């Protein structure tokens, strides 16, 4: 993988860049729609292209359990199998292995070797190790691969977070060794390292040093969007490491997707984001407008509102349907409502990324949202 910075903002750490992957170039800062099990919920690949998506995210845990990486490999890899055709990032699935396995009678267990877990589908026993998750993602044909890491709850005790930082470092070292031994990056694919450390400044900084000392292609910051920890805590955990991120490598903030959070984190120097929020909120009748405000379609004010979801939005949904019509569809359980709002919310998010890139190029980036309205 090649990454080059193409522009910087004089008043912040924000920058624009280009990521070159086997399945195409990506303009950064970029938002990655989440296609957990092979599709962004309710949307077709050509619709993702229409809203401006450049890269999507798949989940190793779910794809490993079904249909299995071997089948996907036989069909040419994730991008070809799904007919998406563009770049794909896959996470390691370690967090899902632990969190979903823990809901069963036989709970998942994290050890120094990896994560042992039971399928939430049929109860079958599995194990993820730093090596095996790379093997699975190799079969998936991922452009950007994430290693196994130990991700404790954001408010875990210091002792628990210390052990997670140590284990993440050890797993990162094993991941690099396995990656290089098998020449997985020879075709241009990338392996990113993940920084942990909870809310402890010294542990965040220690984890950052651990990861950046290894030859990862990119640096991800994890453990800041796995619960309802709140924006203040997210900001604090990120600020501990943002200024020390290696400027020559792409920076990925995992799981952050509210528009206002993205704006703040772009100013902190982050290049890549992913989140299920645009489509998850859409399925619950929530839509965003280009002024970054959030609305619930079922509010009474929209019952006889013949205007578009957002009069300023240029997406196909806003050029076609009215609020009252989409509210009617949602109230009657029609699938088109969730599809329409998903399409629109992703349009708003990806248009925001475009405007952020334009602002950085002009040197006018601000966390005041006015320029993005």
HSE-up (13 A, CA, CB side) for residue 176: 17
Contact 268, 234 (CB under 8 A): no
Instruction: Tell me the C-alpha to C-alpha distance, in Å, between residue 252 and each of 182, 194, 247, 266, 333.
Output: 25, 9, 12, 10, 36
Q: Report residue 36 as tokens.
A: 């957990």
How far apart, in whole angstroms, are the C-alpha atoms of residue 336 and residue 224? Answer: 33
Where does residue 220 rank: exposed (0-12), middle (13-18), buried (19+ CB within 10 A)? buried
Residues 6+ apart with CB under 8 A from 203: 158, 161, 162, 165, 196, 197
Q: Report residue 69 as tokens.
A: 């990486």
Q: Catalogue the active-site residues.
A: 91, 274
Angle at 193 between CA 13 and CA 273, to 5 degrees: 50
How far apart, in whole angstroms, are the C-alpha atoms of residue 48 and residue 46? Answer: 5
Sheet-wide strand order for 2-8 = 2-8, 15-21, 24-28
Handedness of CA 48, 51, 53, 54 (dihedral sign): positive
How far apart, in whole angstroms, are the C-alpha atoms of residue 242 and residue 208? Answer: 10
């Amino acid at each position: 993988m090649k990454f080059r910075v193409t522009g910087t903002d004089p008043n912040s750490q924000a920058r624009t860049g280009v990521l070159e992957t086997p399945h195409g170039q990506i303009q950064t800062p970029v938002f990655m729609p989440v296609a957990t099990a092979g599709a962004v919920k309710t949307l077709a690949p050509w619709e993702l292209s229409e809203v401006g998506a450049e890269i999507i995210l798949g989940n190793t845990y779910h794809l490993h359990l079904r249909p299995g990486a071997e089948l996907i490999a036989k069909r040419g890899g994730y991008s070809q199998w799904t007919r998406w055709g563009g770049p794909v990032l896959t996470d390691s699935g370690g967090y899902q292995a632990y969190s979903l396995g823990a809901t069963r009678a036989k709970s998942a267990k994290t050890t120094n070797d990896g994560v042992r877990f039971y399928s939430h589908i049929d109860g079958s026993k599995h194990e993820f190790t730093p090596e095996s998750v790379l093997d699975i993602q190799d079969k998936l044909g991922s452009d950007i691969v994430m290693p196994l890491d130990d991700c404790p709850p954001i408010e875990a005790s210091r002792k628990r977070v210390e052990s997670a930082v140590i284990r993440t470092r050890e797993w990162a070292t094993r991941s690099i060794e396995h990656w290089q031994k098998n020449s997985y990056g020879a075709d241009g694919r990338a392996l990113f390292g993940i920084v942990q450390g909870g809310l402890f400044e010294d542990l965040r900084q220690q984890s950052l040093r651990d990861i950046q000392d290894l030859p990862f292609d990119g640096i991800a910051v994890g453990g800041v969007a796995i619960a309802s920890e709140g924006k203040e805590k997210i900001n604090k955990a990120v600020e501990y490491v943002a200024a020390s991120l290696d400027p020559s490598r792409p920076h990925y903030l995992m799981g952050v997707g509210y528009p206002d959070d993205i704006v703040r984190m772009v100013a902190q120097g982050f290049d890549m984001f992913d989140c299920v929020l645009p489509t998850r909120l859409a399925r619950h009748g929530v839509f965003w407008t280009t002024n970054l405000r959030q609305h619930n379609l079922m509010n009474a004010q929209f019952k006889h509102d013949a205007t578009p979801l957002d009069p300023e939005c240029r997406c196909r949904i806003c050029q076609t349907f009215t609020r009252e019509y989409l509210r009617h569809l949602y109230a009657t359980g029609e699938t088109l409502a969730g599809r329409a709002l998903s399409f629109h919310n992703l349009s708003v998010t990806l248009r925001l990324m475009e405007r952020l890139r334009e602002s950085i190029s002009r040197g006018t980036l601000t966390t005041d949202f006015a320029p993005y309205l």
